[in-house]
Amino acid sequence: MKQQGNLASIQSVEVFFNKAYLQTKVMATDPNQELIYAFYVYRVGELEAIAKSVYKKFDTHQLEITVPGEYRVKVFAKSKKTGQVITKSSRSIQYTIVKDY
Q: Which residue has the higher pLDDT, 100 or 61?
A: 61
pLDDT in tens, 26-69: 999 877 788 999 999 999 999 999 999 999 999 999 999 999 99
Q: What is the DSSP secondary-structure string of the chain?
A: -PPPTT---EEEEEEEEETTEEEEEEEES-TTS-EEEEEEEEETT-SS-SEEPPPBS-SEEEEE--S-EEEEEEEEEEETTT--EEEEEPPPEEE-PPPP-
Which domains are seen in the chain, by residue range? 10-95 (2.60.40.10)
